[in-house]
Structures are given as C-alpha cells and as structure tokens.
Structure 1
C-alpha cells in the first residue's frame, strides 16, 4: 500500500446501511456517513451541533472493515510525561494511516479523505475524537492555534482554562456553568486566533469527568447510583482526586440545549498551577506568557498525527509546538496564573466577579 487509493480499494465506502448526518461548528461543517446503530448514538452525542447543511468534509465510518495485509507501523512519539504506546502511523504518498494501538481502530487521513474502520462500535469515544479532529484540522489549516483547554462564554467575554492533565479544568469549567446564562464552548480542546478581539473556537466534545467532579457538584450527583456515591464518599480525598473513572456529561441534557455555543471573543485565559497540600490561599494573578514559558507549555497542544498542513506535509513525528504563534494569537487576552491551594469555590467566586463585573 503506497497511496490512499491503494487503501480505499480494500474498503467499501458505500457499505449497506450507511447514512449521513451533518455537524456545524462556527464556520466549519462536517458530514458523517455512519451505519446504525452507531449513527444514532453519535447523533445523540453531537445533538448540540447537528445541522441540516452538508459539510465541506465527509467522514466515513466503516465498522468491522480491515486491511490485508497489515501495514508496517511506526510508533508515534508521545508528549513529555506520557508513557506507553498509544498511536502508530504509516506514511503513504500524500496520505497517512493511523492506528490506535490498544483498540486496533485504524484511520486514513488525506486531503478530502477521512475514514475510520475496525472495531468502531466498541470504541465510540475514539470515533468521536476522530470526527472532532476534522474540525480542529480545518481550523489549524486556517491559522488557528490548538490549546489544551476548556472554555465557557457569556455576553462579550470568553474564559478558557488550561492546566496539566488532571489539574481540574473540567471541574472548574462546570462550576462556571452554574452561573445564569453561561454557555459551554469546549472541553479539553480550544482553537484560538489573533484578532480585534482574539477569537476562540470550540468543538462538540462533551466533558469526561471523574467521580470527584460529580460528587462536588449537586447538579451532577444523580449521574452516580446512591450505592456508588456512598462508596466514593468513604474514600480518602487524595484517593478520590486520583481516581480515573470517566463519565460522559452531555451538556445539553444537564444544563439545556441553549447553553452551548462553539465560538466567542476570547478575553481571559487562566492557567491552573495550584496544588493540594498547601495552606496558601487560592490566587488568580495576571501574568505575561512571554515571561512564563512554563505556563505557555500547559496551554500549547501538538496537533498530533492526524494533522496535514496546507502544503500537504503531515505533522512530523516528535515535533513540539512553536510558542511564537501562540503568543501572537493570545495578544490582547488577559492571562492569569491560578496558584495556591486547590479551591473550586474560590475559583468560582473569581469567575462570578469576572463575568458579573
């Protein structure tokens, strides 16, 4: 297999039962061709972004289809601090195959081509991420910068929150959603672009939250059974914080369909640099990212193996993001460091002052 066409000859894009649905996020549109029951499940997940307008890009989902023989794979280098094999790639002429090592789900990415095949029904979250990747890729090719952040928006203000993995981005953003009229913009991935004012573009990625987040928010507690709540509440606080047991929170179902908005004027960016086990009060203090490369590092996010540049080059293996475009994109945004102890009540109070002031 040397080209995308070689791969496509082994796949049936018109498989029986495949039907389209359409997503619109800001100015980006994507059409997804999927069979039942996967199609119905994905439409429920993406309900807040569904539209009647076909997208410029079509994603084909082909459960159960495989390549024979298997290509020779090269492991994709993970970001610093990440361990274990996650992705593998095989570069073709003008195209790239990507394999999820643990699940065996495989993707073909090329100009105008986005195909996922293999055990898709058993790995729905992987399929969701692939669809959202097409939205991110469209923005990246237009000059937006990819941030590892969550964001909310209301009126003229949009607040993005970054931090190290497990630092409390999702919990912080959901506390902001308790404010009247606040809209959810994105979870975990935000595109930013310079402008007057700078802009933020989200993706329809629902929060995946751990039990600690659920227990700490009365609106979410019914996501767990009473028995499970009692079991978790008996755990030491440190163990509960470290517990990885992800649950999808569908924003439209919990907060209302009118509480979703995928684009806004980016005014504020907070970077969580707080810690457990300290008595220092929680502080939100303005900083200059040009003087704080450590905080900028928490914001920047590599586009990963799926990204193909406008000139046809795929993102090289092991490439780190360039700080300069981020500094330019965030010019005019008020950036703050959140330090001291982890205190979501204090952070929510700062959020109310920001949006109500």
Structure 2
C-alpha cells in the first residue's frame, strides 16, 4: 500500500485489505483493476462491462500495472468536512457535488446519494452505498480512464460516436439536442460499431484524428426509445402506453433514463473503444420547424458558436499529471478543439428534427466507394 493510500484510509477509517474481490478491464493500452469488499458489486460491474475486454484470472504481475480502484460498500454516513460546493455548468441547478482537497488528492461527496470518493493520481477509492448507486460507480471507474486519456493529450468532448464501414462519426448537440437518439439510429446500420455515447476523446497526429470512447452504455430518455423500434423492449408495454400519451414537448424534456445494453439490442461484437475520426455532425436543428433537416459542410473556425456544443469541462474528478485539480467547470481552450476538428469533415445539421431522414442522408455518404 502506498503512503497516500495508507493516510487516506486512516483518515476515512477504512481498510482496503478487505477488498479481496476483483475484476479487470483492458481498455486499449490502459489496464484497470477494480477491487471490492463485496462479490455482489463485482458481479454487477462485470455484467455492466461485459461488452469490454475483462480478465478476472490475470496474473498478479498484470494486476499490479495500470490503474487500481477500491470500492468499499458500507452503510456509515459520509464523513463530516468543510465541504465546498462544485459549481454546476451553465443551465444546470441544484447541489450535486461537494469537495475538499486533502492528502494531495480530492475527496468528493455526492450530495444526493451519500457516496464519497477519493481521487488522486495514485489512489482511487469509492465508499458508501455502492450497490444502490451503480451508475456513480461506473462513472468513477470511467473517470479514471478519462483522466488517463487527458494526461495523454486527448481533448474531452461532449459527443456520441459510431464507426460505420470504418468511417468514424461523432455526433454533438447542445443539451437535449438528440445526439444519443441519432447515434442509436445510425447503429441500425449493419456495419455500425458503437464507440461512445456522451464522452469522446480526440487527438490529432500528423493530420489523423483518433477518437476514443469510454466504456459507458448509452443512458437515454423515453422519447429516444419510443422512436426506435429496436429499443422498445427496454420499456414495459404499459409504461410505453403511458408515455405515448404525453405531449411531444414534455416527452422530449423527460429526465427519466434507461441503460441500453448494446449486445442485447444490436448483437455481439458491436462495441469498439477506438476509431479513426472522419466526420463530426453538429445538430443545430429546430424543434418548431417542419422543414426536412439538411447537412451543410462548415469550416469549424468560422462557426465557433456551433463548436461550443462539443466543448466540455473535465469535471471535479480531473487531475493533471502534476496532481492539480480544477476549481470549477473550466473548459479546455477553443484552439484545442479547432486543432482537432480542422482535420475532419464537420457538418451542421439544420432544419426540422427528423432522425430517420438525417440518418438516411448521412448513411448514403458512408457507403463504400467502388
């Protein structure tokens, strides 16, 4: 046990030695080992990440490489500290995260669930009612991979992505713009591979842009499900009937979320973590318009107001290589995004909202050329 892990364990009155159950994720060149004090939590996570490479029987040598994460299920209330509230991004309200920096790391408290997380470059711990908050545990695991990517000079993006016939396609939109709905519509293509739903990491090298996703299943609202026959099995028929009676505007804004198990819906071998990025679709359509949506190729430098849809703060868990944290929802510089996007084709989607129509137009562009 490293000195920092020992110090924070003593501070929080925990013992990581009880975390005798583990599983491992092989995320491209990043190896993640997750330890827990309960088999039930490991079983839940193994099932959630089943579409990604796992190795529960790997050697102790492999287990000692890469990222190590400790998950401790316990019922004790969160520790009392002089917590500072993490500022929400524009358009979002209410208390969600609070934090205090200590032991060369950051202790974070989820106000609504009572979960507590310790984050540093060498120690990662989650404690509290983990089994009741699987989504937050998944996010914590993914945040470690996201930190790894950003420390490798990838820029964080608020975007979904698929690969179709080897063509990597990112979809971005302002909040509620339908990026997940369009991404899942594109997944109907026989040769489509799921890359990512809400966070995408881009890096340019010699004019080639690499896009890496995170192992996070799409979490979608009921409107997305009701407008895609492949997804209907996610919602009980009686619930479907109730939702179909809601006004369209109310259904669009509904915050209820459902996980999409990609393997169950689209079949095996449909998930990839990485692709060469070729195209970015920026959804700038108008819900009130009856016009058919169209694609217009744009120069990112001339449309920075649209590029802001893809820009995203790394969040309170982000830590740079030197150990520094952000003190608020700061966003990487616009130039970092432009330096990447100027190496791919960027299209604005404008007009009315019609996922079927725009998917049909775009898919015609992805067909292999003779």
The normalised TM-score by structure 1 is: 0.94
Equivalent in 41, 46, 58 of residue 43 of structure 1: 46
Gaps of 5+ in 2: none
- Provide the residue aligned with 1:23 in structure 2: 25
Equivalent in 215, 219, 226 of residue 215 of structure 1: 226
Please state how far the C-alpha of 1:291 moved relative to its aligned partner: 1.8
Query: Secondary structure of 1:270's partner?
Result: strand
Please state how far the C-alpha of 1:320 moved relative to its aligned partner: 2.9
Quote the Cα distance in structure 1 between the aligned partners of 2:52 and 2:9: 29
In the alignment, structure 1 residue 11 sits paired with structure 2 residue 14: yes
- 1:6–1:68 distance in 2 versus 1, CA, 3 Å: farther
Deviation per CA, 1:257-292, whole angstroms, max 9, x where unpaired?
210111000000111111211123201111122222
Quote the Cα distance in structure 2 between the aligned partners of 1:68 and 1:242: 32
- 1:335–1:222 distance in 2 versus 1, CA, 3 Å: same
Equivalent in 91, 104, 118 of residue 108 of structure 1: 118
Quote the Cα distance in structure 2 between the aligned partners of 1:176 and 1:240: 22
- 1:287–1:119 distance in 2 versus 1, CA, 3 Å: same
Quote the Cα distance in structure 2 between the aligned partners of 1:8 and 1:301: 32
307-316 or 66-75: bigger deviation:
66-75
RMSD: 1.7
Please state how far the C-alpha of 1:153 moved relative to its aligned partner: 0.7
Deviation per CA, 1:145-202, whole angstroms, max 9, x where unpaired?
0000110013431001011222111110111010012100011000000124200000
- Provide the residue aligned with 1:331 in structure 2: 342
Quote the Cα distance in structure 2 between the aligned partners of 1:21 and 1:204: 15
Would the aligned equivalents of 1:26 and 1:201 in 2 still touch at CA under 8 Å? no
Quote the Cα distance in structure 2 between the aligned partners of 1:171 and 1:255: 15
- 1:4–1:295 distance in 2 versus 1, CA, 3 Å: farther
Quote the Cα distance in structure 2 between the aligned partners of 1:203 and 1:300: 17
Gaps of 5+ in 1: none
The normalised TM-score by structure 2 is: 0.91
Tell me the matched-pair count.
Answer: 354
